[in-house]
A and B are shown apart, each in its own frame.
Chain A
Amino acid sequence: MKFKSHVMGAFLAGAMATTAFSSVYAADDTIKVGILHSLSGTMAISETTLKDAMLMLIEDQNKKGGLLGKKLEAVVVDPASDWPLFAEKARELISVNKVSAVFGCWTSSSRKSVLPVFEELNSLLFYPVQYEGEESSRNIFYTGAAPNQQAIPAVDYLMETEGVERFVLEGTDYVYPRTTNKILEAYLIAKGIPKEDILINYTPFGFSDWQTEVAKIKEFGSAGKKTAVVSTINGDANVPFYKELGNKGIKATDIPVIAFSVGEEELAGLDTKPLVGHLAAWNYFQSVDAPANAEFIEQWHAYTKNDKRVTNDPMEAAYIGFKAWVSAVEAAGTTDTDAVLDTIIGTTVPNLSGGYATVMPNHHITKPVLIGEIQEDGQFEIVQQTPAVVGDEWSDYLPDSKDLISDWRKPMSCGNFNVATGKCGGKGS
C-alpha cells in the first residue's frame, strides 16, 4: 500500500510538471524570442490566444526571410498563472535559453513580478495589455493602452455624446481597477462632476452573483440624471455580470456600460442580443475597416484553421510590439539590448487600424482610441475614433505622479523624472 501511494504521488507530480512545459532547441544560427504567457490556470483563457498570435507573427517573419539573415525561433514557456513563477520562467528564458527579447505577461501582478528580472539581466519585455500606468521601466515596452489612451477618452465620450452626468465605477478588486478608478475619479471631479454623483464599487475576482450589485446600479441610476457604468471588471466575472444586466432588462439606452476589459474574445461566451449598445473602449476592434486589418484577420484564420476565431486589442498590441522590435533590430543591425534600446525610440510601424504607432521615449506608444458598441453578432460597431494619442505613463490627475515624466533617451535616461524638483527618482509631492 505504501509503495502504491508513492507511485501515485510520483504520477501526480509528473502530470503536474507536464502542464508547465518548455521547448528548448539547441541551434546557434537562430534568433530566439521568448513567449511568456500562461497556458494553464486562470489566465490561460486570455493569454493562450496571445501565444498563438506571437507564434503566427514569428512564422510569418520567417517566411519573409527572418531577421538579420537568421531565422527566428520561438521559445514558449508556461508560467501557469502563478506570479512568482513568471519571474522564474523569465529568468530561465533570459539566462538559460538566451532569448533576445520576451513577449508576454497579462496581469499587472505578473509584470511587476518579472520587472526586476528584466532590469537585472538587461533584457527586453514587450507587454501587450492595457494597464493602469504609474510605471516606466528601461527594459519594458508598454504597447497596450495607458489610462489616458482608454479610460479618459471613454468617459469623455460618455459625457459628450451620451450626456452622462452620473457615474458608477465598477471594478474587480485589484491594482488595475483601483488605480484606474482613482485617476477617473480625480478626472471627473476636475470636470465638475460632484462627488455624490460618483459611486465606486469593487467585487472579488471571479464574482458570480451580481444580483445585489446590479440592483444597486439600477437604484443609483434612478436619481433623475443620465447614469453610466464604467466597468473595469476583469475576465471571468464579466459573463455573469452581463447575463444579469441582460436578464434584468437594463438596456444600453437606459444605463450604458462602458468596459475596458471586454473585447471580442470575452463576448464569444455570451449571448449578445440583450447587450446591444453597451460600449467598450479599446485601441483596436476586429471590425476596424482597414486593409491591414483584413489581411491580419485572414492570416489569423488561416493560422488557427478556424474562421470563427476573433481578433482583439491585445493581439494588435502584440503585433505592434513585435513589428517595432523587428524594425529596431534591423536598424541596429544586432539584437543586443542596449543597441535596440537606442534605435527603438522613435520607431514607427503601421498599426491595424490604418494608422501608425510610434514608440515614444517613455516606452509607451501612440494609439488611436476607439469606442465601440456591442452588436448582435458579438462584434463592435465603432462609434468614435480619435487621432493617435501619446501614452501617458504618469497620470496628470494623481497628486503623486502629476510632476513625473519619463524619458529613456540619453542623457536623461530616467523613468520618473520630477519636473518640480528637477531630479530623477522618487514619487513627487
Chain B
Amino acid sequence: MQRIRKGRRVKANGTRRAMYRAIQTFLVALCLLVSCLATGLRAQEDIRPLVDALGVGNFPQKVEAVNALAASGNPKVAEILQNLSDGKLFAPKSGGPVFLEGEASGSYLDVLTGAAIGDAPGNLAKIRLNNSLRGAISAAMSQLTLLSPDRSARLAAANDLLKDANPENLDLLNSALAEEKDAEVKSTMEAVRAVILLKTDASFEDKKAAIDTIAARGNRDALTILTAAAATAPDELRPGIEESIRSINRSLALWDVAQNIWYGLSLGSVLLLAAIGLAITFGVMGVINMAHGEMVMLGAYTTYVVQQTVQAVAPGLVDYSLAFAVPMAFLFTGLVGVGIERGIIRWLYGRPLETLLATWGLSLILQQTIRTIFGPTNRQVDNPSWMSGTFEVGGLASTWNRLWIIVFAISVFIALLLLLKRSKFGLQMRAVTQNRRMASSMGIRTPWVDALTFGLGSGIAGMAGVALSQIDNVSPNLGQNYIIDSFMVVVFGGVGNLWGTLVGALTLGIANKFLEPYAGAVLGKIVILICIILFIQRRPRGLFALKGRAIE
C-alpha cells in the first residue's frame, strides 16, 4: 500500500511538475507572442509617417516618399506599393493621412492593419500617379520581388532592374543570384549584375567580363546598355564595347531583314483578306464593286454586335466571341450581298460604268446607314487575350494578333480554293463565268449562281472585317481605307485568278515593308503605286493572266 501510495505521490509530483513546465512554457510563449506582436505593431507603426508622406506634396516629393518606403525594408511595403499602383490609396485633397479603399464603395480601411475606419474624412481623393511615380513604384517593387517564389515575378523584377540598374542593389542581386535556379531568370540577373558592375569602380577584368555578358544577349536592350556605357567608359574599355556594339548591330541588321519580311507577310495577309472577296466579285464575275469595302465594314460591325451580345449573355465566353463572329459575319454580309445582286447588280451586267456608279452610291448609302444606327464614332472591339501581346523568335518580335491574322487569311484562301475547285457549286460558278449560255443550256440556273457567287464574295469580305476589327478602327469609314488597296491587289495579281491575288497581296505587302524604312510611309506608298502603273502598262492583265478561251 505504502509503496503504492508513494508511487502515486511520485506520479502526482511528476504530473504537477509537468503542468508547471507546461504553464511556464505557455507563459513564455505568450510573453514572446505579445512582445513579438508589439514589436511587429511598432515596426508597422514605424512606417506610418512614411506611408502618410505619400498623400502630400507634388510628384517629385511622392517619388521620394516611395523610395523612402522601399528603403525601410518593412514586409508590408510591397502590399502598400501594390495598392498605390492599383489606385486604391486615398488621401485628403489638401494632403494628410493615407487610407485604403474598402470593398464597399465609400468605405475606407487602415493602410497598415486593414481595420475598417468609421470616421474617414469626407474630402478624400485618389492618390494620383504619373509616369515618374509609376516608374519609382515598379523599381521599388522589383527590388522587393527579386526573391519572390513566383518565377514570373522574379523575371519581371529582373527585367525591370535591367532598365534601371542601381549600384545599391548589388548585394541584393548577389544573394538572389546565389539562390536562383531558373536559367532565364538567372541570365537576366547576371546581365543586371553586369550593368551594375559597369557603373561601379570594379576591376578591369570584371568590367570586361560584364561587357561580354551583356553583349552575349545580343538584342536591342543590350545595345541600349552598351551605347550608354560607351559614353562613360574609361578609354581602355572602349574598344571592347565598340566591338560588341558593332557585332550586335551586324546581327540585328540580319534580323531586320527577317523582320521586314515578317511585317510584309503580315501586311500582305491583311491585303489578301481584304482583296480576296473582291477577287470573286470583280475578278470572277467582272462586277466593279465599289461597295466591297462596305461589306468589310459590315463584317467588322457584326463582330462588334456579336461581342456585345456575348458580353451580355455569356460573359465567360467573351474571349471566344470571334469564333461566333466569323460565321455570323459571313452569313450576314453574304445575305446582304445576295440582296444587292438581286436588287441592283443583275440589272447592270455588261455595263461596267453604270455598275461602278451604282455600287459607289450604294457604298455611300451603307456608310450613312451605319452612321445613323451606330453613330459616327469608333466602336470598341476588344482583342481577346489570346490575340494580345508580343512573342519573340530570336531577334524577331511580332504581336499575336498579326500571327493569327496570317493564319486566318491562309485558311480562308485554302477554303475558298477548295470550294471553287472541289465542290459542285464551284464547278457551276466557273461554268457560268466562263460560258454563261453553255452553262445555262446544261441546266444550271445561272441567275442563282450569280447571286450566290456575289454573296460568297461579300461573305468573305465580311470575314475580312472580323479580322480587321482586331487591328483597325471599327468606324463607318473602315471600308474606304481598303477599297483602293483591294483593287490594286486584284488587278496586279491578275483578274480572275485566286493564286494571282495571293501572290499579288504578298508581293505588295513585302515590297511596301521593305520600302518603308528607307523611303518613309508616304513616299513608299507612292513608289509602289508608280511601280504598279508601270507594271500594268507592260502587262495589262496582271501577274497571272488568264489565257485561252476564258477571256472574252
B473–A269 touching, CB < 8 Å: yes
Give Cα A207–Cα B472 distance, bound, in whole angstroms: 9
Contact check: which of B59, B263, B375 meets A212 at CB < 8 Å? B263
Residues of B within 8 A of A277 (CB): 129-131, 134
Does B421 sit at the interface, judged by CB under 8 A? no
Are B266 and A211 neighbours in the complex by a CB distance under 8 Å? yes
- B residues 123-137 near A (Cβ < 8 Å) are 128-132, 134-135
Task: Give every chain B residue within 8 A of A240 (Cβ-Cβ).
Answer: 471-473
Q: A44-B476, A206-B481, A222-B224 are in contact. List 18 more A-B contacts (CB 8 A).
A: A4-B347, A8-B358, A15-B365, A49-B377, A202-B522, A213-B521, A216-B517, A219-B220, A224-B225, A236-B473, A248-B397, A249-B389, A252-B134, A266-B378, A268-B378, A271-B380, A271-B383, A373-B131
User: Would you call B227 an interface residue if the criterion is a C-beta within 8 Å of the partner chain's C-beta atoms?
Assistant: yes
Taking CB atoms and an 8 Å cut-off, the chain B residues in 451-507 that contact chain A are 471-477, 480-481
Does A122 count as interface, using CB distance less than 8 angstroms? no
The CA of A12 and the CA of B368, in the complex, are separated in Å by 13
Contact in complex: B128, A9 (CB < 8 Å): no
- Some 18 contacts from A to B, beta carbons below 8 A apart, are A8-B348, A9-B357, A12-B357, A15-B365, A42-B480, A161-B130, A201-B521, A204-B521, A207-B521, A208-B471, A224-B224, A224-B231, A240-B473, A254-B163, A269-B379, A270-B378, A277-B129, A381-B128
Q: Is A96 interfacial (CB 8 A cutoff)?
A: no
Which chain B positions have C-beta within 8 A of A239?
378, 472-473
B388: Cβ under 8 A from any A Cβ:
yes
The answer to whether A269 touches B475, judged by C-beta atoms less than 8 angstroms apart, is yes
| Chain A residue with Cβ nearest B478 | A236
Contact of A190 with B by CB under 8 A:
no
User: Is A42 within 8 A of B477, CB to CB?
Assistant: yes
Q: How many pairs of A and B residues are in contact by the CB < 8 Å rule?
A: 175
- Whether A270 contacts B477 in the complex (CB less than 8 A), given A12-B358, A16-B364, A212-B263, comes out as no
Q: How far is the CA of A218 from the CA of B390 in the complex (A)?
A: 14
Q: Which residues of B contact A162 (CB under 8 A)?
A: 131-132
Smallest Cβ distance from A223 to chain B, in angstroms? 6
A22 CB–B CB distance under 8 Å:
no
**What is the bound-complex CA distance between A147 and B120, given in angstroms?**
44
Q: Could you tell me the distance in whole angstroms from the C-beta of A235 to the nearest C-beta in chain B?
A: 9
Is A383 engaged at the interface, CB distance under 8 Å to the other chain? yes
From 26 to 44 in chain B, residues with beta carbon under 8 angstroms from any chain A beta carbon are none
Contact present for B221 and A222 (CB under 8 Å): yes
User: How close is B143's CB to chain A, nearest CB, in angstroms?
Assistant: 16
Do the beta carbons of B475 and A236 come within 8 Å of each other? yes
Q: Which of A102-124 contact B (CB under 8 A)?
A: none
B354 touches A247 (CB 8 A): no
Residues of B within 8 A of A270 (CB): 378, 380
A413 within 8 A of B: no
A212 to B510, CA, bound (A): 12
B351 adjacent to chain A (CB < 8 Å): yes
A236 close to B477 (CB less than 8 A): yes
A137 beta carbon closer than 8 Å to chain B? no
User: Does A48 make an interface contact (CB < 8 A)?
Assistant: yes
Q: Are B128 and A383 interface neighbours, CB within 8 A?
A: yes
Q: Which residue of A lies closest to B474 (CB)?
A: A269
Given A240-B472, A271-B383, A1 contacting B347 (CB threshold 8 A): yes
Contact A44–B344 (Cβ < 8 Å) = no
Report yes or no: A268 in contact with B377, Cβ–Cβ below 8 A.
yes
Selected contact of B399 from candidates A247, A254, A271, CB within 8 Å: A247
State which of B129, B362, B378, B472 has its C-beta within 8 Å of the C-beta of A208: B472
Interface size class of A (residues with CB under 8 A): 35 or more
Bound together, the chains give a CA A224 to CA B522 distance in angstroms of 29
A254 to B399: give the CA distance in the assembly, Å.
18
Does A215 count as interface, using CB distance less than 8 angstroms?
Answer: yes
Say whether A5 contacts B520, CB under 8 Å. Answer: no
The 9 A-B pairs at the shortest CB distance, nearest first, are namely: A269-B378, A224-B228, A12-B361, A247-B399, A222-B224, A203-B521, A44-B376, A211-B263, A383-B130
Which residues from B are CB-within-8-Å of A42? 477, 480
A334 at the interface (CB under 8 A from B): no
Q: Are A206 and B477 interface neighbours, CB within 8 A?
A: yes
Contact with A247, one of B228, B231, B382, B401 (Cβ below 8 angstroms): B401
Q: Which residues of chain B from 380 to 400 have any CB-CB distance to chain A below 8 Å in the complex?
A: 380, 382-383, 388-390, 397-400
User: Is B308 located at the chain interface by the 8 A CB criterion?
Assistant: no
> Complex: how many Å from CA A265 to CA B475?
13
Question: Which chain A residues in 141-175 approach chain B with CB under 8 Å?
Answer: 161-163, 173
Residues of B within 8 A of A429 (CB): none
Most buried by B among A212, A236, A239: A212
Docked Cα-Cα span, A201 to B224, in Å, equals 22
| B280 is an interface residue with CB less than 8 A from chain A | no
Interchain CB contact (< 8 A) of B259 among A49, A215, A265: A215
Q: Shortest distance in angstroms between A106's beta carbon and chain B's nearest beta carbon?
A: 12
Q: Could you tell me if B399 and A248 are in contact, using CB atoms closer than 8 angstroms? A: yes
- Measured between beta carbons, the chain B residues less than 8 angstroms from A256 are 131
Contact A45 B477 (CB under 8 A): yes
The answer to whether B361 touches A16 (Cβ under 8 A) is yes
A244 to B471, CA, bound (A): 8
Task: Verify if B430 is at the interface (C-beta below 8 Å from A).
Answer: no
**Contact partners of A266 in chain B: CB under 8 A:** 378
Q: What residue in chain B is nearest A222 (Cβ atoms)?
A: B224
Smallest CB–CB gap between A398 and chain B, Å? Answer: 22
Q: Is the beta-carbon distance between A252 and B131 smaller than 8 angstroms?
A: yes
Nearest B residue to A209 via CB reads B267
Using Cβ atoms and an 8 Å threshold, which residues of chain B touch A208? 471-472, 481
Interchain nearest-CB distance for B59 vs A (Å)? 7
CB-CB under 8 A from A224, the residues of chain B are 224-225, 227-228, 231
Contacts of B521-546 to chain A: CB distance below 8 A? 521-522, 525
Chain A positions 269-323 with a Cβ under 8 Å from a chain B Cβ: 269-271, 274, 277, 279
| Interchain CA distance A419-B114 in the complex, whole Å | 66
Chain B neighbourhood of A100, CB < 8 A: none
Whether A253 lies near B231 (C-beta < 8 A) is: no
A270 to B516, CA, bound (A): 26
A343 close to chain B: CB less than 8 A: no
Contact (A243, B130) CB under 8 Å given A15-B361, A44-B376: no
Asked if B295 CB lies within 8 Å of chain A CBs, one says: no
- For residue B383, which residue of chain A has the nearest CB? A271
Instruction: From known contacts A209-B267, A212-B516, infer whether A243 and B231 are also in contact, taking CB-CB under 8 Å.
Output: no
Asked if A386 is an interface residue, CB under 8 A from chain B, the answer is no
Determine whether the beta carbon of A202 is less than 8 Å from that of B351.
no
- Asked if A19 is an interface residue, CB under 8 A from chain B, the answer is yes
- Cβ-neighbour of A271 out of B266, B382, B390, B517 (below 8 A): B382
Contacts of B512 in A (CB 8 A): 209
A30: chain B residues at CB < 8 Å are none
Q: Assess the A161–B132 pair: CB atoms within 8 A.
A: yes
Once bound together, how far apart are the Cα atoms of A215 and B260, in whole Å? 10
CB 8 Å contact bits of A392-425 with B (1 = contact, 0 = none): 0000000000000000000000000000000000
Chain B: CB-nearest residue to A384 = B130
Closest Cβ neighbor of B470 among chain A residues:
A243
B43–chain A nearest beta-carbon distance, Å: 31
* In contact, A201 and B267 (Cβ under 8 angstroms): no
Q: Does A261 contact B (CB under 8 A)?
A: no
Contacts of B131 in A (CB 8 A): 162, 252-253, 256, 277, 279, 373
Cα separation A13 to B364 with both chains bound (whole Å): 11
Q: Mark out the residues of chain A between 198 and 234 whose CB falls within 8 Å of any chain B CB in the assembled complex.
A: 201-204, 206-209, 211-213, 215-216, 218-219, 222-224
Q: When the two chains form their complex, are residues A40 and B371 in contact, meaning their CB atoms are under 8 A apart? A: yes
A49 vs B402: C-alpha distance when bound (angstroms): 33
Q: Name the CB-closest residue of B to A371.
A: B130
Instruction: Decide yes or no whether B270 CB sits under 8 A from chain A.
Output: yes
Minimum CB–CB distance for A43 against chain B, Å: 9
Flag whether B513 is at the interface (Cβ < 8 A): yes
* A37 CB → nearest B CB, Å: 11
